[in-house]
Amino acid sequence: MAPLPVVYGTKGRIEPLLDPAILGRFADLPQQGKISAEYVWLGGTMQDLRCKTRVLDKAPKSVADLPKWNYDGSSTDQAPGHDSEVYIVPQRIYKDPFRGGENIIVLCDCYEPPRQLPDGSLSELKVIPTNTRAACAAAMEKAKGEEPWFGIEQEYTLLNHTNKRPLGWPECGFPGPQGPYYCSVGSGSAIGRDIVEAHLKACYFAGVKISGVNAEVMPAQWEYQVGPCEGIQMGDDLWMSRYILYRICEVYNVEATFDPKPVPGDWNGAGGHTNFSSKATRADGSGWDAIQEQIKKLEKNHAKHIAAYGEGNERRLTGKHETSSMHDFSWGVANRGASIRVGRSVPVEKSGYYEDRRPASNLDPYVVTKLIVETTLL
Ligand code: ADP
Ligand code: MN
Ligand code: MN
Ligand code: MN
Ligand code: MN
């Protein structure tokens, strides 16, 4: 059979073969008691989210009610073909904003499948190398008494899926220089807002702790914030927020990229500023001293943090475009050119949180939050 023609319409969608409005006709059909559980996990590049659906006969009350499952790890570069199973363990349940109703999305992490031991029992679960969640969860458990809170500012760029140029940019040449786009309104400035709005609503519904959105400095670049979240929830909610963004972008046939420097040259890169506080930094009166102590520890471990703060971050952390140089550690009050920025109000109120501006937009939040907790609290 000849391949079907792909027709791009004026809005960049594939028309009329995959008109998203048509899906709506099926969305309200009763499910006859069935629940769709979309299992989501991280694949072999550690940036690729993967998912598949499992149909359940009743809604789970917690992750303990959910079956563990597996997938073909040889297709995600996480296992050899001759022993291809990767085992997935449900860790957090979100409401599914795409299917609605009682349907859920289940965030999982990845293990080697348990093997039968000579005495017939099953071996203990062993994480596979790409599972960064398990070690993060262990560090958060150790630091629980210190109540670590995080808020991550997730910057990203929308790309035209057909030519990979930022959405709304001319096919040749460039839009006008940066200046008008940050927190902008107007069709020439705030490009792709429909996606941002849909993402915000979908995150509310899902139960992702989103706390704000804004247009960024480069046209077609946006930011949303997730937090404050305590402990392991930060990594879980950020990964789920990214999953939701990718799914919404599917509908619009637009691509979201977390590349830290999607356009080289005089255009802002994309970061993943990580805001942090602990019981000690939030303590009335003594918090500012605790923050300064923690910053000293971060300074000593600068190289270790930089190495783990995102692939390609060296293209972004140049010392220009509101970044610090990756080679030097610095901190300052209200300074957007420093590695660590402390808010104006902190030395005044003598307590609060601070911002690690070094992580790139493609940070693995499990890796970054674990390092911050280990360096400052453990
Ligand atoms: P910026 O001024 O750098 O653009 P944003 O308003 O974008 O800052 O983001 C601030 C982030 O800090 C949010 O994600 C918010 O949830 C988080 N945050 C607020 N209070 C705290 C706190 N006490 N501890 C950790 N994070 C916090
Ligand atoms: Mn199959
Ligand atoms: Mn921000
Ligand atoms: Mn920003
Ligand atoms: Mn920031």
Choice among 76-85, 199-208, 271-280 with the minimum mean pLDDT: 76-85
Q: Does 286 have pLDDT greater than 90?
A: yes
What pLDDT band is residue 14 in, cutting at 50, 70 and 90? low
State the Cα–Cα distance between residues 340 and 349, nearest whole angstrom.
18
Average pLDDT value for the chain? 94
pLDDT at 2: 61
| Mean pLDDT of all residues in 91-114 | 97
What pLDDT band is residue 5 in, cutting at 50, 70 and 90? low
- Ligand 2 mean position to 127 CA, how many Å? 23
Task: Name the token pair of 327.
Answer: 């080679």
Nearest CA to ligand 1 atom 4: 153
Nearest CA to ligand 1 atom 13: 151
- Ligand 2 mean position to 72 CA, how many Å? 8
pLDDT at 159: 97
SS3 323: coil
| Mean pLDDT of all residues in 3-28 | 66
Residues 6+ apart with CB under 8 A from 61: none
Q: Which fold has domain 144-376?
A: Creatine Kinase; Chain A, domain 2 (3.30.590)
What's the CATH class of domain 31-131?
alpha beta
The domain segmentation of the chain, as residue ranges, is 31-131, 144-376
End-to-end CA distance of the chain: 62
Q: Does 4 have pLDDT greater than 70?
A: no
- Nearest ligand to the C-alpha of residue 70? 2
Q: Does 283 have pLDDT greater than 90?
A: yes
pLDDT at 228: 98
pLDDT at 27: 86
What pLDDT band is residue 19 in, cutting at 50, 70 and 90? confident
Nearest-10 crossing angle of helices 133-142, 233-252: 140
SS3 250: helix
Q: Does 82 have pLDDT greater than 90?
A: no
pLDDT at 20: 74
pLDDT tens for residues 221-233? Answer: 999 999 999 999 9
Nearest CA to ligand 1 atom 24: 277
Residue type, position 39, single letter: Y
State the Cα–Cα distance between residues 38 and 95, nearest whole angstrom.
10
pLDDT at 11: 57
| Mean pLDDT of all residues in 109-122 | 94
- Ligand 4 mean position to 223 CA, how many Å? 6
- Ligand 3 mean position to 216 CA, how many Å? 9
pLDDT tens for residues 40-70? Answer: 999 999 999 999 999 999 999 999 999 999 9
| Mean pLDDT of all residues in 276-289 | 97
pLDDT at 356: 98
Q: Ligand 1, closest atom to CA 209?
A: 16
Choice among 90-94, 147-151, 221-225, 320-324 with the minimum mean pLDDT: 320-324
